[in-house]
Amino acid sequence: MVINMAANASEAELQHVIERVKECGFQPHVTRGTERAIVAAVGSGGSRSALEALKAAPGVEDVVPIAHPFKLVSRQTRGERSCVNVGNVCIGGAEAVVIAGPCSVESRDQILSTAKAVRAAGATMLRGGAYKPRTSPYDFQGLGLEALQLLRDAREETGLPIVTEVMSTEDIPLISEYADMLQVGARNMQNFALLRQLARADRPILLKRGPSANVKEWLLAAEYLLAGGNSNVVLCERGIKTFETEMRNTLDLAAVALVRELSHLPVIVDPSHGTGKRELIAPASRAALAIGADGLIIEVHPCPERALSDGAQSLNLDEFAKMMGSLTAPIRRVASAMAVAVA
């Protein structure tokens, strides 16, 4: 249930509601908006009718059930959109954010040259895999700690905050020492043990959508993070499995608009994994921004043909700069029926 406080409710009235929610057997999660406070009462086993009676408490405007199984990520529990800060970058604010970098960190030269080039082209965060989830055990698995050290050096040189994937609970403390944001990869979206630990981590989380996950499952995965205490979560649409075989995945851009309806969390788009084709990155990026994405995450490599992972979907440094330029071009003008009628 959500308890909407009146715009003129006092702090004492809010505190009273928080206490009553606890007495009724629920956990209160308070959002203090610019206009009013909202108290979300979550948990199971408490008395719903006792909560509903809070409609009569002073300072309460309304008590309404939360319509969806996900509670804390729901837009209902927060009047305004969330902004997640990663270093000096705000994801979910007025401007869309571009995160760029190689699929995997491969060498000092590779990550430093990429970091400098993507920064010069306008990216404000650096990506790079240190621990890689690979379909085959014989494929390159990432440089691990060495890659984390190289990412740290790249941040020192460029000032770009770092996002990198964490695959296992035991790696969380080490990766948190080096990275500004922790990525949960698509294959781990429903690794609930990992989500529970990341809920206690002192880092924002980039939660990729599972290749076969529907929107409800994706938002419930995010709910694990918020319910466990980490509300700095950014969602990432990276394509899902469909019957289509010409692309690596099917980039589900309508889900981005839907998620923005259902949730207050920022959502970004990964057109690299979403399409698997470098020639589709620019048009898919433009479409993602047009539909309301809060940002993009794009794979860039100084020499894609030599990349140890995901070369086919990586832009080279010049292609990335060109793509960034294309993002500001206006979308196609729509013909006006009125103009045709009078012509």
Q: Using CB under 5 A as the criterion, which residues of the chain lie in contact with Mn ion when the complex forms?
A: 103, 310
70-to-77, 124, 220, 341 alpha-carbon distances in Å: 10, 31, 5, 49
- On whether the CB atoms of residues 261 and 255 are closer than 8 A, the answer is no
Which option in Mn ion, ligand PEP, none does residue 278 bind, with CB closer than 5 to 8 A by kind?
none
3-to-7, 38, 228, 264 alpha-carbon distances in Å: 12, 6, 21, 17
- Per residue in 202-238, is it b (16+ CB within 10 Å) or e — as a string? ebbbbbbbbbebebeebbbbbbbbbbbebbbbbbbbb
Token reading at 166: 């964490």
Cα dihedral across residues 253, 247, 104, 281: positive or negative = negative
Specify the residue, 1 or 182, whose C-beta has the smaller distance to ligand PEP: 182
Token reading at 104: 């995997």
Q: Does residue number 143 form part of the binding site for ligand PEP (CB under 6 A)?
A: no
| Position among 20, 75, 155, 208 found at the interface with ligand PEP (CB under 6 A) | 208
Q: Does residue number 133 form part of the binding site for ligand PEP (CB under 6 A)?
A: yes
**Distance between CA atoms of 240 and 262, rounded to whole angstroms?**
19
Q: What is the DSSP letter of 240?
A: B
Segment interacting with ligand PEP, rule: CB under 6 A, options 75-83, 182-190, 194-202, 252-260 = 182-190
| Position among 29, 238, 264, 301 found at the interface with ligand PEP (CB under 6 A) | 238
Segment interacting with ligand PEP, rule: CB under 6 A, options 33-41, 84-92, 180-188, 317-325 = 180-188
Which option in Mn ion, ligand PEP, none does residue 65 bind, with CB closer than 5 to 8 A by kind?
none
| Position among 59, 142, 185, 266 found at the interface with ligand PEP (CB under 6 A) | 185
For 81, other C-beta atoms within 10 Å of its C-beta total 14
Which option in Mn ion, ligand PEP, none does residue 154 bind, with CB closer than 5 to 8 A by kind?
none
**Distance between CA atoms of 143 and 85, rounded to whole angstroms?**
27
Shortest distance, CB of residue 20 to Mn ion, whole angstroms?
49
Specify the residue, 223 or 237, whose C-beta has the smaller distance to ligand PEP: 237
Specify the residue, 134 or 196, whose C-beta has the smaller distance to Mn ion: 134
The footprint of ligand PEP on residues 262-281 (CB under 6 A) is 273
Residues that bind ligand PEP (CB under 6 A): 103, 129, 133, 185-187, 208, 238, 273
